[in-house]
Structure 1
Amino acid sequence: MSGQEYDCIVVGAGPAGLFCAANLSPLRVLVLEKMILPGRKLLIAGSGQCNVTHVGDARSFASHYGDHGAFVKPALMAFPSSATRKYFESRGVELIERESGKVFPASLSADDILDALLDACDEANVEILSSLPAESVSCENGVYRVKTALGVFSARAVVIATGGKSYPQTGSTGDGFVFAESFGHTTIEPHPSLSPVYAADHRLSELSGISFADVSVAIWRDGKKILTRSGDLLITRFGYSGPVILDSSRWMRDGDLLKIAFSQKKIEELDALIRAACAASGAKQVQNLLSFAGVPERLLRLLVREAGVPDGTTGGQLTVSMRSMLVRNLTEYPVTIDHVGDYRVAMATTGGVSLEEVNKKTCESKLSPGLFFIGEVLDIDGDTGGYNIQACFSTAFLASKRIRELL
């Protein structure tokens, strides 16, 4: 088998690699996959239900990729969410849209999405070799050579679609970063993204499993606020998760301080309301005076206790220091991050091949013509909700279009 020549070699049989390969017909295409079967990570997406994309146009989509929406936007314009839906529906996959805007196969089975991609590759006569990792990628006189255990394969174009480093058990172990660096590309230091956080002192652990809507979370580091995001929050047995945590985790680091606003009231407003309630109903217990805070009763009891307010304390007995701590707990509840969940639990990877060295309109390397980077190997990571898989399809579409033009 050694020495076989192809028009294009795709390294990685995830959603990006398979979709790119399927769109390269009539070129002769080889896909190399290190795992026993293709699409291992795709099959666990959305807990196996495969949140394949999200409702929205390219403009709204671009805002869901952290600081790198400008790079992804041309890809999203060329192949938007609506195109993804039409593509899979045309291949017999019925899709459903949740109230949240997330789009899933109606079967709620990732197998349907993977089967559609594999069928498309089969129709395009794509050759897929599994259990065959690429060991190195090189280029000489415009011809790329990919070394494997079965020998060296050559092609005029190579697509790196190896993913990032999240869920390494599915084959995403950062191989693409090594290949990129061998061509002089810069790799932005990767970190886990879309990851839960583990609290250093988890004082709300007894609320494990309870979620809260529209909670504001601010990230502080070295006494400075990094950013603030809002969304649904889930308390876990070890710390915090939910969309607001997952989407913000790309900016979080071990040791950061989170300030959680369980109440949507402003500090000054809430303080004034508490003082007025205590003055008007001083005989009532404190926790019974705080309905205006907009916090569920079970959480409220814990926040009152955390403020150092003894059980049975009435509004008339609430001291200034107690009230100050109570306001803080409701509007800036402090949580020190022991650590952000590692790659074994992170859904995505922040960091990757530097975007400055890749053409955002084609996903082609600026350093080595004919070399392409698509999907999560790039320094892009989307919010939870189908944005990362959509980026895989969109960048793959751009690369396939450019490769057909070149070859």
Structure 2
Amino acid sequence: MNRFDLIVVGGGPGGIFTAITAAEKGLKVALLEKNKRIGNKILVAGSGKCNLTHTGKPKEFLDKYGMNGKFLKEAINKFSPEMLKTFFKENGLPLVLVEESGKYFPQTFSSLDVVALLKRKMENLGVKIVENIKIENVTKSEDEFIITTDKDTYISDNVALATGGKSYPGVGTTGDGYVMAKELGHKIVPPKPALTPVFVRDYMFEELSGISFQDVKVTVWRENKKVVEKRGPVLFTHTNFSGPGILDNSRYIENGSFLEINYVDKDFETLNREIIEEMNKDGKKTVKRVLNSYFLPDRFIRRVLSLAEISEELKLSELSKEKRENLVKMLSSNKMEVTKVGSFEMAMVTRGGVAIDEVNSKTMESKKVSGLYLVGEILDIDGDTGGYNIQAACSMGVLAAKSMKKKEMR
């Protein structure tokens, strides 16, 4: 009979670490994955190099998950980034730090190696892995769960839903878990793309695709109120703004939002004053030469001067007040109306999902259905780019498994 102490639905990082931890404490575990293989989301992490976590103490991590970061306090403390690194080291695949980014990768920089290790670990612990299986229904009858699939029926005392969100639908995260959770009585916060590029009206930098700024201030506005202000790298593409400084802020964007970028790390008044002072000191100097002193990319300077209708040979003494202020505004507070964020196909994670006020943050158990645990991106919580989402999923999985109790033999 297909009876288990725990059925894990979903073979991503959250589901896998739930299964491993539960099996280590003696539970009989099965992991059901609808794709032909487990770990599809892991395989695409870090463009295949598998960015697993980030530098920083657990307390610092909580600031990386938007408004809901506090929910993860118990999970991150119980299974910290250091513990994740120790896990991989003890299992033969140490993680290495890429200093300039703060990201940790497996020393082979191969997501295939990560998935192979995790699958081997589960098999050694006796976890039954069933791939290419479609979950048709999850119900609870008295004190046990009945999981109906296209292949067989499974019965378990505990169920962990770790199906992911709706981002990267090509790897199988198509929102199935939301349906299961809703049928079990949970409220679903409408899922939306997150960690995604941002599109603006009349995008002006299509010809600068590939140019990036390593540390600029990015602000999101709505109804003339500042929603969030963060620093980070920004990348120009052919059609939109991208890079971590944009991706991390995309979760805050709603209809009617404006995106503001400061390319020079100086406010309007400061930059305007500096240019006036430079003009008084040497009016024969060209505007372009002054902009070069701010270490801006040359192609960007040329494009901005063109947009401001300023010749590259124009001298400071010839620069009108109107054009000067227009140029300063473009460099220090380039404010643009957002038309949309990238689709789920472009998004790295999903915001929205099972409402976190219906889940016990100290155990990951549902407050509505005893024995039901919700882990990872299925919940209304999403992190910044850089390994934060995988870390959160693994931490939630470990916490959930440690909180489960094995029922006495009937």
TM over 0.5: yes
Structure 2 letter corresponding to 1:7: D
Kindly provide the CA deviation profile for residues 80-125 of structure 1, in whole angstroms up to 9, marking residues without a partner as x: 0011011111111132111022110111100111111111110111
Kindly provide the CA deviation profile for residues 5-47 of structure 1, in whole angstroms up to 9, marking residues without a partner as x: 2111110011111111112122221111111111111101100
**Aligned twin of 2:110:** 109
Structure 1 Cα separation of the partners of residues 292 and 212 of structure 2: 19
**Aligned twin of 2:42:** 42
**How do 1:274-285 and structure 2 match up within 5 A?**
274-285=275-286
Match of 1:16 among 14, 22, 27: 14
Structure 1 letter corresponding to 2:13: P
**How do 1:257-272 and structure 2 match up within 5 A?**
257-272=258-273
Secondary structure of 1:30's partner?
A: strand
**Aligned twin of 1:7:** 5
**Aligned twin of 1:236:** 237
Structure 2 Cα separation of the partners of residues 109 and 311 of structure 1: 47
Secondary structure of 1:112's partner?
A: helix
Secondary structure of 1:67's partner?
A: helix
**Aligned twin of 1:72:** 72
Structure 1 Cα separation of the partners of residues 65 and 90 of structure 2: 28
Structure 2 Cα separation of the partners of residues 406 and 313 of structure 1: 80
**Aligned twin of 2:375:** 374
Structure 2 Cα separation of the partners of residues 50 and 404 of structure 1: 32
**Aligned twin of 1:225:** 226
Structure 2 Cα separation of the partners of residues 291 and 54 of structure 1: 34
Residue 106 of structure 2 corresponds to residue 84 of structure 1: no
Kindly provide the CA deviation profile for residues 291-333 of structure 1, in whole angstroms up to 9, marking residues without a partner as x: 4544333322222222232443221121111011111111111
Structure 2 Cα separation of the partners of residues 294 and 263 of structure 1: 9
Unaligned runs of 5+ in 2: none
**How do 1:186-225 and structure 2 match up within 5 A?**
186-225=187-226
% of aligned pairs identical? Answer: 39
**Aligned twin of 2:170:** 169
Structure 2 Cα separation of the partners of residues 400 and 56 of structure 1: 25
Secondary structure of 1:23's partner?
A: helix
Which region of structure 1 is more displaced relative to structure 2, 243-252 or 200-209? 200-209
| Contact 1:255-1:339 within 8 A present in 2 as well | no
Kindly provide the CA deviation profile for residues 238-271 of structure 1, in whole angstroms up to 9, marking residues without a partner as x: 1111110111111123553211100111211111
Kindly provide the CA deviation profile for residues 182-213 of structure 1, in whole angstroms up to 9, marking residues without a partner as x: 12211111111111123332211221111111
Structure 2 letter corresponding to 1:230: R
Number of residue-to-residue matches in the alignment: 405
| Contact 2:364-2:400 within 8 A present in 1 as well | yes
Structure 2 Cα separation of the partners of residues 297 and 165 of structure 1: 39
Structure 2 Cα separation of the partners of residues 368 and 291 of structure 1: 62
Structure 2 Cα separation of the partners of residues 130 and 102 of structure 1: 30
Deviation at 1:163, TM superposition (A): 0.3
**Aligned twin of 1:127:** 128
Structure 2 letter corresponding to 1:10: V
Q: Quick one: structure 1 residues 255 and 308, their matched pair in 2 at CA, closer, same or farther if it must change by over 3 Å? A: farther
| Contact 2:267-2:333 within 8 A present in 1 as well | no
Unaligned runs of 5+ in 1: none
**Aligned twin of 2:340:** 339
**How do 1:302-313 and structure 2 match up within 5 A?**
302-313=303-314
**Aligned twin of 2:326:** 325
**Aligned twin of 1:178:** 179
Structure 2 Cα separation of the partners of residues 77 and 191 of structure 1: 28
Kindly provide the CA deviation profile for residues 216-256 of structure 1, in whole angstroms up to 9, marking residues without a partner as x: 11112233322111111111111111110111111123553
Secondary structure of 2:300's partner?
A: helix
Secondary structure of 2:22's partner?
A: coil
Structure 1 Cα separation of the partners of residues 365 and 178 of structure 2: 15
Kindly provide the CA deviation profile for residues 123-181 of structure 1, in whole angstroms up to 9, marking residues without a partner as x: 11111111112112111111111111123211110000000010011111111111111
Secondary structure of 2:37's partner?
A: coil
Kindly provide the CA deviation profile for residues 265-297 of structure 1, in whole angstroms up to 9, marking residues without a partner as x: 121111111112222222222112234544333
**Aligned twin of 1:56:** 56
| Contact 1:164-1:349 within 8 A present in 2 as well | yes
Secondary structure of 1:290's partner?
A: helix
Secondary structure of 1:24's partner?
A: helix
| Contact 1:193-1:246 within 8 A present in 2 as well | yes
Structure 1 letter corresponding to 2:284: A
| Contact 1:43-1:114 within 8 A present in 2 as well | yes
| Contact 1:270-1:293 within 8 A present in 2 as well | no
Secondary structure of 1:260's partner?
A: strand
Secondary structure of 1:107's partner?
A: coil
Return the TM-score normalized by structure 2.
0.95
Kindly provide the CA deviation profile for residues 44-79 of structure 1, in whole angstroms up to 9, marking residues without a partner as x: 110000001112221011111111111011100000
| Contact 2:12-2:162 within 8 A present in 1 as well | yes
Structure 2 letter corresponding to 1:314: K
**Aligned twin of 2:33:** 33
**Aligned twin of 1:156:** 157
Structure 2 letter corresponding to 1:54: H
| Contact 1:254-1:340 within 8 A present in 2 as well | no
Structure 2 Cα separation of the partners of residues 360 and 324 of structure 1: 51
